[in-house]
Structure 1
């Protein structure tokens, strides 16, 4: 049986007003559970078990008029209509057998004994819909999944500015749903030509869902003899509710703090020099700049990292290079931080960051790269619903 793609508000009203059962699957293209549910939905439609049901799909991103009228929150979701009334609903990602059993029970389809017998043998006919799994993208109407977009500025102005304009957030209030084994998502990046710094958001469900991690990478352009000499990162956290309100969360713990502020890092620079040693394996905390005909050499740089914000909704870290001969190498390439929060399904994050970049042999050219501002910070939502359900 073919599936109808609803293309207008009129078509939607015509279908649900029919005396025949009409089953509508509500989806959005960015929802991973929707893609899985759509495949199972098509299998059910093609099975031939439900010849008296018209199967249809509504893309709520494309059909704005329908979305405004029905105000669906939480997808995927399927509604069964007859004579203009919704008579049943099933929510979330559902196994195909469970879905078929729900539909059979709902429409009282006793005319297909083969199908009923098959589901009965599987133990599906007697189950209550309340016990069905409900993995869904519990996301508001205007929110999309984060994919890591960022603004890239490759052309410098003729006059080197001291303070660069803040970079534009291309994914405001997007939603990140961490899974086991993923490497997080890029939530901010600022660059000046080939020099840049970026921020990664990640979570380790098997460790502690309430522990939210951030990584910052500093990648100066070695050709321009650039380095980052200082940086600041600040984040405010709150609980994101269905009504889009934000109740502040209290940070129970964070790392690093003032007590853990001295960090020695190995930094690769270019060109051989007597007495230099090359670290054997420091992939997370080094950057490499290798000129033609030279070999990388190792230098130690000591940075001071100070973090504070325990028992408040805002954490902040500062990164500075200690005044020492190694200061000319700047900040190291990689830093990890985390905050520990109370168990929350959806965490709303508002953050800003800035880093001071210097260039040239004499370090005369200096500029500040900014990710967000106090007036217009970046915003993200970390959805831990699925993680907490599987815990």
Structure 2
């Protein structure tokens, strides 16, 4: 795959957290949950190497999650499993965090340092609060200048144009947030009993890692490192049961007379999984792209190393147009879209230096395949993916 001019691979501007680069390389050294452990060099290993054999063993973490049909995701509640899945490939998202499950670390920072050591979520929240306060202070200053001009006109008859800049109007370069007042609690502290020191209550990690259905099935089908539990009985689900449950999660609840009665070739889970599997198999880190009005974002190594280089918009295409007319599913972007919509998304991603890719997924025709094909993942072989790289045309820069 070729990259557009907005690709930032290897660029110095794409690096994030230069001081922690070596630490991140150590923490996120493994791209997948599976580890291939090589034994120390030995004579036996050398002989086996000559014969094309190897003593390398595979370490499987065997993580566990619970299928939640309401949110159409898999919840991983074990903190150790969540840490493994995030640090080995950036899978999932913390339900109380922006991406990495860091709720417990934030709470510990608040207790130990009184909020001095901030996590990324806390830094973002403080920045947004300061930006909001700056806008209020600026609006208040402009209103005061306008009121002063009206007073001068009413008393002296002179017309003064209210200034939008100057010493009295705060600017982004000179404005500083006012220190928060310290409110002292006047309620006296309860006396502590002798022999019973005041021990802080132990923190309980209430956050879980939320995997999309595409991520969960990628673990199940390709890596075999995730066990999905039934939400009602908490018993492990078989691969066939998971395959059918994930497809029906995007469909209205019905009671089908046969296992394949409610399954359709244009199921959103199938289309999104085809795209997810395609790019994960090519080595990309695939994350959601709602923030930039796209379906997926592609990272070369992960969010802690570089910004996303590519933005994907999934466009389903029916092999037989009659299937779209008779289908009960209204697929997003399956009908022709306006050029203004495409230009808007392209401009948004161009401004943040991301190359926009239109991913066309061809849906097989029902006339040539039996619905029973959907009962197993073998049906994915009948789907195809085509990619179109879209570049924004700028006349001033592309006159040649």
Identify the structure with the greater strand proportion.
Answer: 1
**Fold shared by both chains (TM-score > 0.5):** no
TM-score (normalizing by structure 2) = 0.19
Higher relative contact order (CA 8 A, sep 6+): 2
TM-score (normalizing by structure 1) = 0.20
